[in-house]
Structure 1
Amino acid sequence: MTIALYDLLEQTRRRAIDSRTSLADIHIEPDGESVAVRGQVLDRATAERLMRALRAQAPTINWRDDMQTLVTGPDYHWALLTRPVADLRREPSHRAERVTQALLGEALETLRVQGAWTLVRLSDGYLGWLFTGYDSAPLALCHAEQAQAYRQQATHLVTHPLAPFYAHPSGEAQDQVGLLPFGVRVQVIGQDGALQRVRWPDGTLRWIGSADLLPLAALAPRCHAGLRQALDWAQRLIGVPYLWGGKTPFGYDCSGLTQTLFGLIGIDLPRDADQQAERGTPVALDALACGDLLFFGDPADAQHQRPSRVTHVALALNRHEFLDASRSGGGVAIRSLDPRSPIYAGATAPTLLFARRYFPHEA
């Protein structure tokens, strides 16, 4: 019976938990007349979802919830990322899969510390292991209110693909200390010549060229005008290589690119293509317009009772052309659904499943 219960627990955990946005390191222990479910879960909602599923699967068993939540654990804090970009891994190892990236100033929650690695949750709900064993700490710990205040106090947006930043206002090459990726929001607190004085999340001062920044007040939010602005900047991303889990001009994956572009205009999309496909409203493929998202993948198989599976996303530019980041397209590129086009996406276009719209179409 114990083996059967272990199998039931594992099947239930796989069905009830999306490991990208939740966590359940759990096991069972028979304890007298009950069966205790123990271990760590992300939060109380995760624990309750698991218990409901177990009781529905095996109602004759007296299940007992002894799970601990990471959001109330000793390692739980809010923090702001202080590095331009940081990889998040599926496991606490540099050899593990890169699942996504965090960018400067991003508010995140630390959940568990394991040696030089910290399990974090990003603002889009994604979980991953962040290496924190640098010479200088990549995280500035803070309260939730401070994390949100930093984001709200941002004044400018990085519009250059990779904007140099400097340790001193001279702007000399020897004073450059890094590159800040496209889409990062920063707090400008002053100007020194041709450079803007920027406050980092930990209070450090850095300087960035005025031409590489746009005041947020000049960005049109949640509309086609704003998206057209973003697409003008995205033209400079053509040729950026494909990078699984990437969200910067060092390398993008398909959903990292669409999440970044929509985020510029205040539309928060989930991280992965299949998650993004659950948002917005359906749009007919013969009525595509700039700003619609196209979803590609495996069609449904009624014979084997398999639903369609989304594996790729692209941003429509018009009824035929789209912008995406893909291996088959060689990175960020403009491609076409039209077989007669010289930029026809021969490997991708035949797998188009459906499209979604995220704000009203402008005639």
Structure 2
Amino acid sequence: MSISACNLSIVPLRAEASHRSEMVSQVLFGENFELLEEGVDFARIRLSETKYEGWIQNHQYATVVLSGVKRNNIVDISGAKAISGSKIVHLLHGTVVSGSTITIGEEHYSIEGTLRDTTIADFKTELPKLIQFYKNSPYMWGGRSVFGIDCSGLSQVFYKHFGISLMRDAYQQAEGGKTVDFLTEIQPGDLAFFDNEAGRIVHVGVMIDSETIIHASGRVRIDKMDSQGIFNTEQNRYTHNLRIVKRYF
């Protein structure tokens, strides 16, 4: 089995082997994946961590040799760089790194910047920093960075900051965790999930407290939530119907 990794800051993961195809997610620098099918311009891949599949453009990845060392550091919100000679790759928050160096293909990178040893111990002090950092980031379907992010990408990177791995899509994330039975029992960091008229979970947000949620809808925003769902004061209406609240730590 051939294992490869992205060698750029962040690249699209598409539904089909075409630049015109929907971007279903993104791949960050150093993320490992299995090559399932290789074409002229694109390769179909399966991400190692989430098993998410899609098409990545050729020349946006290279083969890696896995060391077997547990990778528990991420790039902090202040960012970092991967440097190989004259080549500089700007690393985004949430990018996973194993230490001060990384090799992808023929490139040997040194990592410069602020890395975070992921832990849940500093949750109370770090959550407000994450909220401030991502607030007002533009919504982008399939996005995973402060420059464009979707609802499940937001919850995923929030949890990654504390060393907890979530699946990519909202409905997948809702399959894990422990159900919070009453809204009064909601704690900061719980995930609230919302469904559409067909009953399919299509949205997720991170609870700031028992009545306030941060989520990506148009932009990353903070709204009030009750037993009915999210109330958008700008639109003066409920925009998302609450389905369930889950806790993961």
Which blocks of at least 5 consecutive residues in structure 1 are unaligned? 1-75, 169-174, 190-197, 300-305
Contact 2:3–2:63, Cα closer than 8 Å, also in 1: yes
Contact 1:336–1:345, Cα closer than 8 Å, also in 2: no
Q: For residues 113-262 of structure 1, what are the structure 2 equivalents within 5 Å?
A: 113-122=38-47, 123-132=49-58, 134=59, 138-142=60-64, 146-147=65-66, 149=68, 152=70, 154=71, 156-160=73-77, 162-164=79-81, 166=83, 177-189=88-100, 198-202=101-105, 203-209=107-113, 212-214=114-116, 216=117, 219-221=118-120, 225-226=122-123, 228-262=125-159
Q: CA deviation at 1:234?
A: 3.9
Could you tell me which residue of structure 2 aligns to residue 326 of structure 1?
217
Between Structure 1 and Structure 2, the one with more helix by share is 1
Write the letter of the residue equivalent to 2:246.
R
Q: CA deviation at 1:127?
A: 0.6
Aligned-CA RMSD value = 2.8
Cα separation, partners in 2 of 1:201 and 1:227, compared to 1, 3 Å: farther
Secondary structure (helix, strand or coil) at the match of 1:229 reads helix
Cα separation, partners in 2 of 1:84 and 1:235, compared to 1, 3 Å: same
Contact 1:227–1:261, Cα closer than 8 Å, also in 2: no
Distance in 2 separating the partners of 1:155 and 1:298: 36
Contact 2:81–2:112, Cα closer than 8 Å, also in 1: yes
Secondary structure (helix, strand or coil) at the match of 1:296 reads strand
1:299-330 CA-partner distances (Å, limit 9, x unpaired): 5xxxxxx6x21110000010111111112xxx
Q: Provide the TM-score with structure 2 as the length reference.
A: 0.84
Which blocks of at least 5 consecutive residues in structure 2 are unaligned? none
Q: CA deviation at 1:262?
A: 1.1
Between Structure 1 and Structure 2, the one with more strand by share is 2
Divergent runs of 4+, >4 A: 164-168, 341-350
Cα separation, partners in 2 of 1:314 and 1:344, compared to 1, 3 Å: farther
Q: CA deviation at 1:227?
A: 6.6
1:312 to 168, 191, 203: 203
Q: Provide the TM-score with structure 1 as the length reference.
A: 0.60
Distance in 1 separating the partners of 2:43 and 2:205: 32
Cα separation, partners in 2 of 1:287 and 1:256, compared to 1, 3 Å: same
